[in-house]
Chain A
Amino acid sequence: MSSETSTVTSEPPPTTADTELTLRLPGESQKSEAKSTKRRFSDLTDLKLGGNDESDTECSVVTRSTPAKERVVGWPPVRSHRKNMMKKDCKYVKVAVDGAPYLRKVDLELYSGYQQLLCGFEHLFSCFTIRNVLNERKLMDPVNGMEYVPTYEDKEGDWMLVGDVPWMMFVESCKRIRLMKNSEAVNGSELLEKC
């Protein structure tokens, strides 16, 4: 606790957010957690301690690399109809990382392509760095040297490699995303069918 000197305006009492114990994914600092809770306060659900039930441990955090500029009305001059045809409803999907107890949610609508999505993963799970090897998109945790391959479940219930289909088609058909540990991905029988 920092020492307090008496001032004319009294400081607000410490809030529960400051003192609550929280679990975080490896690699995140307290500071980044606090920042992200402030960014989208309307989206947050309470963080709970422990628990194996996925639904209890979700938190939805949406990040953008830079703040959005103010949009000008009617610019660029694209007709509403065309806007609506291309636009879809908010597309939140759960992102699970093998070995981590928490799920995250991302809004696929915020990303324009696979590269941006991977950047988004980098932000969400700050332990990862993107590693593009021979056009395969992978994420790597430099701490433990593990590679993670992004996979997703599509409308049919099949697990596919992220990046195989055009971006818009992926957004349309993706139900949830799983960052699979590389050894599993290579041996996974689900994926062999798709190769």
Chain B
Amino acid sequence: MVDRVDSAGEWTQSSRFPDEVLERVLALIDSHKDRSSVSLVCKDWYNAERWSRRHVFIGNCYSVSPEIVAARFPRIRSVTLKGKPRFSDFNLVPEDWGADVQPWLSAFSTAYPFLEELRLKRMAVSDESLEFLATKFHGFKALSLLSCDGFSTDGLKAIATHCKKLTELDIQENGIDDLGGHWLSCFPESLTSLEILNFASLNSEVSFDALEKLVARCKSLRVLKVNRNISLDQLQKLLSHCPQLTELGTGTFMQELISGPVAEFKNMFSNCRNLITLSGLWDATPFYLPVIYPACASLTFLNLSYATLRSDELANLLSHCKTLRRLWLLDTVGDKGLEAVGSCCPLLEELRVFPADPFDQEILLGVTESGFVSVSRGCPKLRYVLYFCRQMTNAAVATIARNCPDFTHFRLCIMNPGQPDYLTKEPMDEAFGAIVKTCTKLQRLAISGLLTDRTFEYIGKYAKNLETLSVAFAGSSDLGMEYVLQGCQKLRKLEIRDCPFGNAALLSGLTKYESMRSLWMSACNVTMNACRVLAKERPRLNVEVMRDEEGGDDSQAHKVYVYRTVAGPRRDAPPFVLTL
């Protein structure tokens, strides 16, 4: 559309693109954020955008209804849907809270009968829903389930049996009822279209014969992640059928019979020239790890978070992995292992260090500030870190920030709640102050340790690009939360637990919450009355309070979940969820 300003200074439309042209152009835009912007330009663009959109991303399933989505976007082929608040991953949300996918599937079966892809995160999914999906959508191709619950392997049977054009089945970290591995045998012999198969998180054994035949006939298979029951020699057989793999998740990486097997497996990876991602590696020992060395030179993502490696074992391995960009580890590698990361992986952009024994408070093992500093010295391109440790200092984090100013995601978990700088005994305020001052691109921050309101003052003042903030056991007063709500203009998700923030803090965000996706506050000092005030003042927010299971003070709001919505109050809320 071309506008001209005439002599009177008024806009006129002198020529317009035909809608089809506009749609064609807009069809090239993938990012849903960009599409959102496009749709706001004017009515014509809004319409062109909605007709050309093929993929819809819904970050909170209760922010909109299936009917509204179907009415606005008539030609959707792919849906991403997220449900429960993130703290449900840590058992803070009771079962039966909601986020049932069925209402969406029912609406889509009429609105989008040609739906091809469905990606669900933290949704409640039943076997009946999976069967519905498999039988009502005839061209269905790709299913990804991450951190969902409510289904069993019977649901997977339905998918395998009925989805004739399936290209992707990606099952990750779900609360699934594992009734056995028979589902895999349900793929018919006629199914040859699989490109992605990930069942690494399922415990029970599948028929290896069925798996081998499936892999052999799916010539386009590029991602294969098997579960722990698949042995090394079985893996070798599988790899012989699909050398074209780009991503591999191994099974158990150890054989119990030690009878000169390394020679046998030495060539297992020599034909896999396209491998860029490697994961699994359960029970990997120094005896068998060298088997993967031939594949290491091209790896960009190595997930060792299920392998209990020691520092020397990791160092030997990493000396072969110079091109790594993403690395996930267990803290069994220790600080020495992290030194090896710093020396071997100069291109590293993402590091996640998980705790091997998070709940044993007697342990003094794992990684410390020293390991993190070593990595920061050797890996200046780091932008994403998730780090679990038992001790940290302000000085170390300041050094890390100086070494890696490009952080976009900084998630530091000092595992003992409210723990100070272990050398100076001071709060960890200056650590996070250094991060927000230096790392101007910071989008996501998770803080821990002993923290006063000063931390939040720093965050509010400096973290101008911050979108997601996770807070636990921190802060001294309402001011803390107020600083963040006032200062962080781009804030979208705020999740808080066990902090001394009360009603004043909650209500200071009155005008802010509609510009955010959601707010979670649990075990803070918020009362029901304050929640009622918020709900009354802001009808476009859903203010939900979850009743405490143990009874307790009814005037206190123990778990508060606030989110913007155009769909009004939930109609499926269970009895323990009060919408105010």
The residues of A that contact B365 with a CB separation of less than 8 Å are 112-113
Q: Which listed residue, B89, B91, B388, B413, touches A73 by the CB 8 Å rule?
A: B91
Once A77-B89, A81-B173 are accepted as A-B contacts, the answer to whether A69 and B361 lie under 8 Å apart by CB is: yes
Which residues of A in the span 41-87 have a Cβ within 8 Å of any Cβ on B?
Answer: 64-66, 68-69, 71-83, 85-86
Q: How far is the CB of B354 from chain A (nearest CB, A)?
A: 7
B90 near A77 with CB under 8 A, answer yes
Of the listed stretches A30-38, A122-130, A143-151, A165-173, name the one at the interface; the rest are far from the partner chain.
Answer: A165-173
The residues of A that contact B417 with a CB separation of less than 8 Å are 72, 75
Q: How far is the CB of A107 from chain B (nearest CB, A)?
A: 13
A80 near B413 with CB under 8 A, answer no
Q: How far is the CB of B83 from chain A (nearest CB, A)?
A: 15
Please report the C-alpha to C-alpha distance between residue A173 and residue B362 in the assembled complex, in whole angstroms. 24
Which residues of B in the span 140-155 have a Cβ within 8 Å of any Cβ on A?
Answer: 147
The residues of B that contact A83 with a CB separation of less than 8 Å are 358-359
Any B CB within 8 A of the CB of A155: yes
Any A CB within 8 A of the CB of B71: no
A71 near B359 with CB under 8 A, answer yes
Interface string of B192-221 (1 = CB under 8 A from A): 000000000100000000000000000000
Q: Which listed residue, B283, B354, B388, touches A172 by the CB 8 Å rule?
A: B283
Q: How far is the CB of B101 from chain A (nearest CB, A)?
A: 19
B358 near A78 with CB under 8 A, answer yes
Any A CB within 8 A of the CB of B52: no
Any B CB within 8 A of the CB of A156: yes
Q: How far is the CB of B119 from chain A (nearest CB, A)?
A: 18
The residues of B that contact A85 with a CB separation of less than 8 Å are 201, 306
Q: How far is the CB of A51 from chain B (nearest CB, A)?
A: 35
The residues of B that contact A168 with a CB separation of less than 8 Å are 283, 308, 332, 356
Any A CB within 8 A of the CB of B285: yes
The residues of A that contact B175 with a CB separation of less than 8 Å are 80-81
The residues of B that contact A79 with a CB separation of less than 8 Å are 89-90, 147, 173
Please report the C-alpha to C-alpha distance between residue A81 and residue B174 in the assembled complex, in whole angstroms. 7
The residues of B that contact A71 with a CB separation of less than 8 Å are 359
A74 near B363 with CB under 8 A, answer no
Please report the C-alpha to C-alpha distance between residue A156 and residue B255 in the assembled complex, in whole angstroms. 12
Looking at A68, A86, A113, A173, which has the most chain B CB atoms within 10 Å of its CB?
Answer: A86
Q: Which listed residue, A64, A74, A116, touches B87 by the CB 8 Å rule?
A: A74
Question: Which partner residue on chain B sits nearest A154 by CB separation?
Answer: B256
B361 near A169 with CB under 8 A, answer no
The residues of B that contact A166 with a CB separation of less than 8 Å are 285, 308-310, 332
Please report the C-alpha to C-alpha distance between residue A78 and residue B90 in the assembled complex, in whole angstroms. 7
Please report the C-alpha to C-alpha distance between residue A77 and residue B495 in the assembled complex, in whole angstroms. 13
B413 near A76 with CB under 8 A, answer yes
Which residues of A in the span 155-188 have a Cβ within 8 Å of any Cβ on B?
Answer: 155-156, 165-169, 172-173
Question: Which partner residue on chain B sits nearest A86 by CB separation?
Answer: B356
B355 near A76 with CB under 8 A, answer yes
B90 near A74 with CB under 8 A, answer yes
Please report the C-alpha to C-alpha distance between residue A64 and residue B289 in the assembled complex, in whole angstroms. 35
Inter-chain pairs besides A74-B87, A75-B472, A169-B308, 17 sampled, C-beta below 8 Å: A68-B361, A72-B498, A73-B91, A75-B417, A76-B388, A77-B90, A80-B91, A81-B201, A82-B354, A85-B306, A112-B360, A112-B362, A116-B362, A166-B308, A166-B309, A168-B356, A169-B285
10 contacts between A and B (CB under 8 A): A65-B362, A72-B417, A77-B90, A77-B413, A78-B90, A79-B147, A81-B175, A85-B306, A112-B362, A166-B310
* Pairs of residues from A and B, 6 with the lowest C-beta to C-beta distance, nearest first: A74-B90, A81-B173, A168-B308, A76-B415, A112-B363, A76-B358
Q: Which residues of A contact B (CB under 8 A)?
A: 64-66, 68-69, 71-83, 85-86, 112-113, 116, 155-156, 165-169, 172-173
Q: Which residues of B contact A (CB under 8 A)?
A: 87, 89-92, 147, 173-175, 201, 254, 256-257, 283, 285, 305-306, 308-310, 332, 354-363, 365, 388, 413, 415, 417, 470, 472, 497-498
